[in-house]
């Protein structure tokens, strides 16, 4: 077993490889870091030199050519926005910054309602048009892209694609808690992962085999601030401009693509338990939703998730 690790996107990454007895001759660690650095260079909301920030700065409806990776993520993000009727919105950058979860810096109290309303005026995934043949996109000058709900998962996929391209077919990739497994461990077993409950919640541990499968989790415990006894999580509801307040402790999604698992987990978190369950069933998404309640936590597994669990 070979192990590699590093840092990216404000978090850490790790890769475990079950390699042949002859070992690995390529500089795999450097290649993994390069794949992740490319995602940051193109899609960082924090780096003003990134392709995403340059796209946001163009305040006109002119077409902009995009790198293939950027375009792939944007196209997928718009598809999930359409499927979720805007619960997932990649043009949420102004609100993310306003609530203190972006490069503008943290905050200790909620913004004023007028400021929220003004930021929402610039929202809207529908304001973004794409041209698949030309690998280009445009917006009406008001949208501010933010890929924080999808880029980390895409980074996992990019690392997996790099490893496969190097002829490595048995591995487990992890970036900031999001994972993708391929092939088998040296003992012939799949990459088993325990899906633990959020902190402070006691539930049975679900176990899943990541065999050509990814997992991503969105939770209100990961990034948040508290003010006067209320918790404000980093997941923003585009429909209200406020952090989600539907009692969702966590949403875990299993999908062949970690990018899609990441985006769907965000969408289901925003929708809440009832609407999230309905969307997961309609789209056959393998999802585990954990909601807080007065009588304790409630867990719901979609039919697709139940088929995957041990």
Q: CA-CA distance, 28 to 31, in Å (whole number)?
A: 5
pLDDT of residue 197: 76
Is residue 269 in a domain?
yes
Is residue 19 in a domain?
no
Is residue 149 marked as binding? yes
Residue 112 is part of a domain; what is its CATH number? 1.10.3980.10
* pLDDT at position 66 over 90: yes
The count of structural domains within the chain is 2
Estimate to the nearest angstrom the gap between the alpha carbon of 104 and the chain centroid. Answer: 21
Last residue of one domain, picked from the residues 114, 139, 164 = 139
pLDDT of residue 200: 74
pLDDT of residue 249: 87
Q: Which helix (H) or strand (E) holds 274?
A: helix 258-283
Side-chain-side CA neighbours of residue 112 (13 Å):
3
pLDDT of residue 100: 82
Q: CA-CA distance, 178 to 160, in Å (whole number)?
A: 12
Whether residue 207 is found in the same domain as residue 310: yes
Last residue of one domain, picked from the residues 77, 104, 139 = 139
pLDDT of residue 6: 97
Task: Provide mean pLDDT across the span 218-228.
Answer: 71
pLDDT of residue 143: 82
Is residue 47 marked as binding? no
Q: For 129-151, what is each residue's pLDDT tens digit? A: 999 999 999 998 778 999 999 99
Is residue 266 marked as binding? yes
Residue 26 CB coordination number (10 Å): 11
Task: Provide mean pLDDT across the span 155-174.
Answer: 97
- Give the chain's end-to-end CA distance (angstroms, integer): 24
Contact present, 38 and 158 (Cβ < 8 Å): yes
Is residue 90 in a domain?
yes
Contact present, 173 and 161 (Cβ < 8 Å): no
Q: CA-CA distance, 26 to 48, in Å (whole number)?
A: 33
pLDDT confidence bin for 38, thresholds 50/70/90: very high
pLDDT of residue 156: 99
Whether residue 122 is found in the same domain as residue 212: no
More confident residue, 227 or 33: 33
Give this prediction's pTM: 0.92
Last residue of one domain, picked from the residues 113, 139, 165 = 139
Q: For 82-125, what is each residue's pLDDT tens digit? A: 999 999 999 988 888 888 887 777 788 888 888 888 888 766 89
- Share of residues in the chain with pLDDT > 90 (%): 62
Strongest mean pLDDT among 63-67, 184-188, 292-296: 63-67
Q: Is 284 exposed, middle or buried (0-12, 13-18, 19+ CB in 10 A)?
A: exposed
The residue segments making up the domain with residue 69 are 46-139
């Amino acid at each position: 077993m070979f192990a590699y690790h590093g840092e990216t996107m404000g978090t850490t990454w790790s890769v475990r490889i079950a390699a042949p007895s002859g070992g690995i001759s390529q500089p795999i660690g450097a290649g993994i870091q390069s794949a992740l650095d490319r995602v940051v260079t193109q899609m960082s909301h924090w780096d003003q030199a990134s392709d995403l920030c340059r796209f946001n700065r163009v305040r006109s409806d002119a077409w902009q050519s995009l790198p293939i990776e950027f375009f792939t993520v944007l196209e997928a993000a718009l598809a999930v926005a359409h499927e979720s009727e805007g619960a997932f919105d990649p043009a949420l950058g102004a609100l993310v910054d306003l609530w203190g979860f972006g490069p503008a810096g943290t905050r200790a109290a909620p913004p004023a309602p007028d400021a929220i309303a003004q930021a929402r005026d610039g929202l809207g995934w529908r304001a973004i048009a794409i041209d698949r043949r030309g690998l280009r996109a445009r917006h009406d000058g008001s949208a501010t892209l933010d890929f924080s709900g999808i880029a980390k998962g895409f980074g996992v996929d990019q690392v997996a694609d790099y490893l496969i391209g190097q002829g490595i077919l048995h591995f487990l990739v992890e970036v900031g808690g999001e994972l993708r497994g391929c092939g088998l461990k040296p003992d012939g077993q799949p990459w088993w992962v325990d899906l633990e409950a959020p902190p402070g919640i006691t539930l049975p541990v679900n176990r899943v085999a990541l065999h050509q499968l990814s997992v991503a989790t969105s939770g209100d415990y990961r990034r948040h601030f508290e003010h006067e006894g209320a918790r404000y999580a980093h997941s923003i509801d585009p429909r209200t401009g406020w952090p989600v307040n539907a009692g969702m402790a966590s949403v875990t999604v299993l999908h062949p693509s970690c990018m899609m698992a990441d985006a769907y987990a965000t969408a289901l978190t925003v929708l809440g338990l009832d609407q999230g369950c309905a969307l997961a069933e309609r789209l056959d998404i393998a999802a585990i939703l954990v909601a807080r309640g007065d009588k304790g936590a409630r867990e719901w597994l979609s039919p697709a998730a139940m088929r995957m669990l041990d």
